[in-house]
A = this chain, B = another copy of it.
């Protein structure tokens, strides 16, 4: 970067917005000025950045004058409406919502996988779905080495994917259930305390939900490989902020477990973590707050010729959203 950009966060008060502010601070991202944009409900709220109080302003079509970088995380419909205004005002938008992800002219980027796509942007760069990013980090280097013929994935997704209000509601609902009280949820409208359920994303005609289809379609775009075959089952579990994934890979080429471990040990953004003697593996609580995606339990699936099972856990708010967006921004020139 040649000069520090003026940065605006759209959706500053949400789970990802709060994390964006703290990651900009942690990573010492050059910021000439930080502006926090949100809906009328949050206007006037004060949030801290580098020891300074910043007042949340109203998000409008005219608010982007002088802004160089927008980090957007206020929902797909908000990005659809306001991102073009930001681009018109001269800003680059790193959009954390799903709205632009599959648009042909919008790069969809996991910096460890396809950093070269960033330069192709026309004002908007999309941040992939959290489950996609977390799967892509360990799978991409294995795909490069052994070519994935087919992936079968089951997820164990945290409340944070549904936002800060869902996280708070899960706590309140759990406390109520433990006290034998009834609870009427408003964010996740089915029982969530001590329960799991197939992901509440919109159902499609083929029986998959949108979250599952995102994992498949986005991965093809990020890997630049339309032949990548993947089927997913996405499930919410009563966990706060890290997603886990049980991933079964069938490779074209033969491999050894030693080779697979070696590839993952040097893969960017990946931490191989195992305590085999004590039967301990990455868990959501262990990985919460971590930048890297944690991987373990590599084992050969003997039901096919070149089969590998692995267990993957990543912080949904960080690498699954805010961190990935800031990493993209770090690769931009201002």
Contacts and interface: CB of A to CB of B under 8 A. Distances in A.
A202 B300 CA distance: 17
Given A175-B178, A178-B175, A198-B297, A280 B190 contact: yes
A285 B177 CA distance: 12
A194 to B, nearest CB: 5
Oligomer: number of copies: 2
Contact of A248 (B152, B156, B197, B285): B152
Interface string A134-173: 0000000000000000101010100000000000001100
B238 A238 contact: yes
A280 B244 CA distance: 22
A208 B257 CA distance: 14
Interface string A268-309: 000000001001110111000000000001111111100101
A203 B276 contact: yes
Contacts of A186: none
Nearest to A204: B299
A307 B231 CA distance: 10
A7 interface: no
A246 interface: yes
Given A190-B280, A190-B283, A304 B156 contact: no
A195 B288 CA distance: 10
A71 interface: no
B194 A240 contact: yes
Nearest to A200: B279
A48 B278 CA distance: 41
Interface string A177-211: 01000000000001100111110101100111100
A233 to B, nearest CB: 4
Interface in A66-121: none
A315 to B, nearest CB: 13
A174 interface: yes
A175 to B, nearest CB: 5
Nearest to A149: B303
Interface of A: 150, 152, 154, 156, 170-171, 174-175, 178, 190-191, 194-198, 200, 202-203, 206-209, 229-231, 233, 235, 237-240, 244, 246, 248, 257, 276, 279-281, 283-285, 297-304, 307, 309, 311
Given A156-B237, A195-B285, 18 more contacts: A150-B303, A152-B248, A171-B178, A190-B283, A196-B283, A198-B281, A198-B297, A200-B279, A206-B300, A207-B257, A207-B299, A207-B300, A230-B303, A231-B309, A233-B311, A237-B238, A238-B238, A246-B246
